[in-house]
Structure 1
Amino acid sequence: MITHDPDVPRLLAALSASGGAADAAVAARLHARLVADAARESVLDVAYRTVDTPAGPLLLAATERGLVTVAYAVQDHAAVLQGLADRISPRVLHAPGRLDEAARQVDDYFAGRRKDFDLALDLRLSKGFRREVLAHLPHIAYGSTESYAQVASAAGSPRAVRAVGTACATNPLPVVVPCHRVVRSDGTRGQYVGGAAVKDLLLGLEAAA
């Protein structure tokens, strides 16, 4: 923990001597100081927050490059954060303010006020052909779908249909990078990282608009 702020030791002492609501208030102040110190010293490598949506709570995480992860509760947010610590940096911190714009755009999407996201993205968690697939997905129009075969062709490897499925299943930025718009050739929905019901919800939301 960063404790360069001279008030942090005093707050820690107050925390140990207090109880109940006072504990929560002091902890909140400590956390705010920690976030501020981390930002000032450029050691906040991954900031995260959660946002409530009709699809359940979504975890949003960002690096200095941009939004790096969107995760459903079914993916286990604690496990996702541990994965970010392992793959990007152990300096992961709950810093909601860093994700205000992303949260606002997610809210607008679920409210039917937004069809496209305008956010800087950090795609480092996807490599090779998987990243090629992710780069194509935002070009599938809102309210439309493409088959796995169509996406494979668009990504430059017409025979890599199964690899497209893997890319969608491992998409670190669902909703924002719309893998829910990829369906089977017969029109059935196929698998989805957030579950079949969530994929139906997203497709239904877009179709209704």
Structure 2
Amino acid sequence: MSDAPRDEPVDLSVSRSDVVFAGKIWDVRSETFDYNGKDTLREFVDHPGAVAVLAIDDDDRVLLIQQYRHPVRSREWEIPAGLLDISGEDFLVAAQRELAEEVDLRADTWNVLLDYATTPGGNNELIRIYVARGLHATDTPFDREDEEADMQVRWVPLDEVVAAVLDGTLQNPSLVISSLAAYRSRVDGWASLKPADEPWPEWLRLHK
């Protein structure tokens, strides 16, 4: 449909951009830009971006991990994910590394499920979610620490994950978005899946 809504990139003139807080993982940035002829100031979390993996086995079960998340004081059920914090690292390589490091798995088949901006009003975090299939154990288990040391792993049917999302039992954003997208894609025989090397869409280009 030619009139279907779509996000549009906007290239505004930024007159000032400063890091006002330098954190361990991400920073807070203050920027002044020209919007409709007026200087406008906004502060936001400057995020390196991330990848996440919806790993699905031959029985349509999704691999979930339970990990403690301090800002929300909760052990959330999530999908494997990690920061794009290695300069120049290919996104697919990062996703493969995270799957191996978090759950000791590798996959024969990789596809892009979707890309999304997590909180566009407050940070510039972009996440690419892959679907990984044809799963096998890695040769060497990974030694985990900090919040990953006591992670729980569970295989849950996709239908059950979606039901838990819809009743509010599961609330992690990447899990919510990926499970609903996968559920819909499965209806169409997974026709919406994209190649693993799919370029970022223009509206998500930002700093990528």
Query: Which range, TM-score by smaller chain?
Result: under 0.3
Normalising by the residue count of structure 2, what TM-score does the alignment of the two structures yield? 0.25
Answer 1 or 2: which has greater helix percent: 1
Normalising by the residue count of structure 1, what TM-score does the alignment of the two structures yield? 0.25
Larger Rg computed on CA atoms: 1
